[in-house]
Structure 1
Amino acid sequence: MKLKIIAAACLILLALRGFSQDKKFYIFICFGQSNMEGNARIQAQDSIGIDSRFQVLQAVDCGDKGWLKDNWHTAIPPLARCTTGLTPADYFGRTLVANLPEKIRIGIINVSVAGAKIEIFEKDSYQSYLATAPGWMKNIVAEYGGNPYDRLVALAKLAQKSGVIKGILLHQGESNTNDTLWTKKVKGVYDNLMKDLKLKPKKVPLLAGEVVNADQNGICASMNKIITTLPQTVPNSYVISSAGCVCSPDHLHFTAGGCRLLGTRYGETMLSLLGYKVKENQ
């Protein structure tokens, strides 16, 4: 009888171990509007040479690509939805895998909505914002089950079964330009994520990128003055400069080159926070 009990206990332990987190699988939550969603055209160089250690948890079904939602696959762009473009998250992940020990893997979650204010991610009041949104935005939100915040949390909880959430990447602000309450609204979303995912703010930094810079004649560049104050409201937050990141003719979206540079800066900042340096002669 004792042997049966011991055997049963061993089987339970083995089962639990099979579903345990891999502490060397670093998960990063990404959200925002069009630049984080991926507006830049994906070029040939962006889809080759991607290390299989860099993974994305698919947010929506893309049958033509063989990508099923709620499943991991190598992070070949697009990382948000089936027809989106290049995002800073692409080269954020590439930068990390190129500079971290080979035993560490990187996982990305990306739920972003083009043109949306930060209010689209407010847990308890997004409905009022969505109610007045244009039809094309509602169609994007519908791909996320009608609630982008809930989809983000659901993916993050699923990811936590495989790895450990190490940070959050935000690129949003164009639609909230000159909104002096933006930092408080971002804090509200961040605080809800910490609570709903049982995370500790001191261990999960928030990296927020600037919108197209004044040096590129960005039409929303004035918002960067507000974005740079985010660490005053969210202590464990860091602002990623967009200076020199080339934009498209609309002066609102980054080009592929701009996304690469901005994403690399996100990655280098995260490497520093993780206690690593960029390798020389990459």
Structure 2
Amino acid sequence: MKNIGLKQRFGILLTILLSGSLFVSADTADDWDPITDVQKENFYIYIVFGQSNAEGYAARPLDEDKIPNKDLKNLIAYDNYENEDATGINDSHLGEWESVAEPNCRKCKHFQTAFSWVKTFGEEMLARNPGKKFGFIHVAVASAGIRLFDKALYATYMDGTQTNPSPDANAQKKAKYAYGGNPYQRIIEMAKIAQKYGTIKGILMHQGEADGWKSFWPSEVKKVYRDMLKDLSLKSSEIPLIFGEPTGGNGPIPNQDAIVTEGNAYYIPNCYKVKALDLPYIPNSKLHFTREGYVELGKRFAEKASELLVTTGIDGVSFSKGNIEVTIGKRSEGKFEIKSSVPLVKIRVFSLEGCCLANFDLNNLSSFIFSARLLTNKLVILEFVAANGAKKIVKYFDSTSCLVR
């Protein structure tokens, strides 16, 4: 963020007084400002929250990481007090848009974060989704347990009365300093501002190293997700929860599977796991990814988020890239013959809400029989994937009559 001189600060203050608005853009030199040039339908917002691997913890940003991307915006969500105990002058630009540059989560005087995967995620989203711009509500606290993000239980985390596990002292300090002691409320406040200028498209989470092995973790994640949807008037069918695995050094968190396993009591239908156990991590800590690991993690988050945008945001037949001609003919009751102009490696089946129902691996087949008896939904979305990465989406496929609506 640029240093703002006294004259410019007075101009901003005058703007606030005249407009009655508390929130103005901090990055006035950018070519695109989401406040003065509202593009709500093409400005997609993602909420990013969690602990250290959501903050960006291990690696210092390179010079190239610090270059702002004007098509990616971050809504500043942190306070910036003079002292670590949240006293003194609060030189905060809370609620102002800035172009994304690392470190993205916090650029404050104390508890500044390091390189994260958010800018990489955003740049990959730009490449995969031409014509769109992306913004972020980025609130994360290293070492934080999931209950710090619970709108009801955060207070016991902050006052130290929570047990099993006990709160992390550094997480308490960061939450008090940067987010007024209530990170969840800060997310909601910032997200409501963002909704004036863009459309929330998903919630990205990286959390669990602190308490993912506890039995309460799946239910807490489900509660936090549902609370966010309710407080922001969002629909679960339209807003996926996408979360990342921990490092291979940390090892898998079994409870993470509970929220993506259908039939489990804590199953979240529109929830997806991004694989990360194979990514490089720092040997000394074992908990944090290297810079290269964060870069790849951001790309993997973007791959999943883009896939979900495609399956929930089109009508009729659409081509993601390349050119695949697919014909579907009814062979017998519940079975269909599928012929493709190019060999296919995968068929994905989605509900109309964008939830993945089935994933079939093919061996470069261009003609085969597909059984609809495996499908429990009458109307589905079919995604055909070729070996060269080309995709074709067929929306509103009626699995009982072989009609494309």
1:63: how far off? Answer: 9.7
Do structure 1's residue 53 and structure 2's residue 71 form an aligned pair?
yes
Q: Is the contact made by 1:119 and 1:129 (CA closer than 8 Å) also made in structure 2?
A: yes
- Structure number with higher relative contact order (C-alpha < 8 Å, ≥ 6 residues apart): 1
Match of 1:150 among 147, 168, 185: 185
Aligned pairs for 1:1-282 (under 5 A) are 22-41=40-59, 42-48=61-67, 51-61=69-79, 68-82=93-107, 83-101=112-130, 103-132=131-160, 133-142=167-176, 143-213=178-248, 218-219=249-250, 221-223=251-253, 225-232=254-261, 233-249=267-283, 250-275=285-310
Distance 1:203 1:177, change over 3 A: closer
Q: Normalised by the size of structure 1, how large is the TM-score? A: 0.84
Residues of 2 paired with 1:87 and 1:20: CA distance? 27
Q: Percent identity?
A: 35
> How big is each residue's C-alpha offset from its partner over 1:108-127, in whole Å with a ceiling of 9 and x where there is no partner?
11111110110100111111
**Deviation of residue 72 (structure 1)?**
0.8
Structure 2 residue ranges without an equivalent (≥5): 1-35, 83-90, 161-166, 262-266, 312-319, 323-387, 390-405
Deviation at 1:20, TM superposition (A): 7.2
Whole-angstrom CA distance in 2 between matches of 1:40 and 1:184: 29
- Separation (CA, whole Å) in 2 of partners of 1:134 and 1:236: 31
TM-superposed CA distance for 1:80, in Å, is 1.2
1:139 positional shift: 2.0
Runs ≥4 in structure 1, deviation > 3 angstroms?
Answer: 18-21, 61-64, 276-281
Q: CA deviation at 1:138?
A: 2.1
Give the whole-Å Cα distance in 2 for the aligned partners of 1:200 and 1:209: 22
Compute the displacement of 1:145 (Å): 1.1
Q: Residues 70 and 155 of structure 1 are in contact (CA less than 8 Å); yes or no, is this contact kept in structure 2?
A: yes
The structure that has the greater radius of gyration is 2
- Cα distance change of structure 1 residues 84 and 204 upon mapping to structure 2, 3 Å threshold: same
Shift of 1:243: 3.2
Check whether the contact 2:69–2:101 (CA below 8 A) recurs between aligned residues. no
More strand by share: 2
More helix by share: 1
Answer whether contact 1:21 1:160 (CA < 8 A) is retained.
Answer: no
What's the secondary structure of 2:137's corresponding residue?
strand
Pairwise CA RMSD of aligned residues? 2.6
- Cα deviation for residue 182 of structure 1 reads 1.4
The whole-number CA distance in structure 2 between the counterparts of 1:27 and 1:141 is 23
Residue 222 of structure 1 and its aligned partner are, at CA, apart by: 3.4
Can you list the C-alpha shifts for 1:211-239, whole angstroms capped at 9, x where unaligned? 102xxxx13x131x321332231110000
Rounded to whole Å, the distance in 1 between the matches of 2:230 and 2:37 is 23
Partner amino acid for 1:79? N
Provide the C-alpha distance between the structure 1 equivalents of 2:276 and 2:206, rounded to a whole number of angstroms.
11
Give 5+ residue unaligned stretches, structure 1.
Answer: 1-17
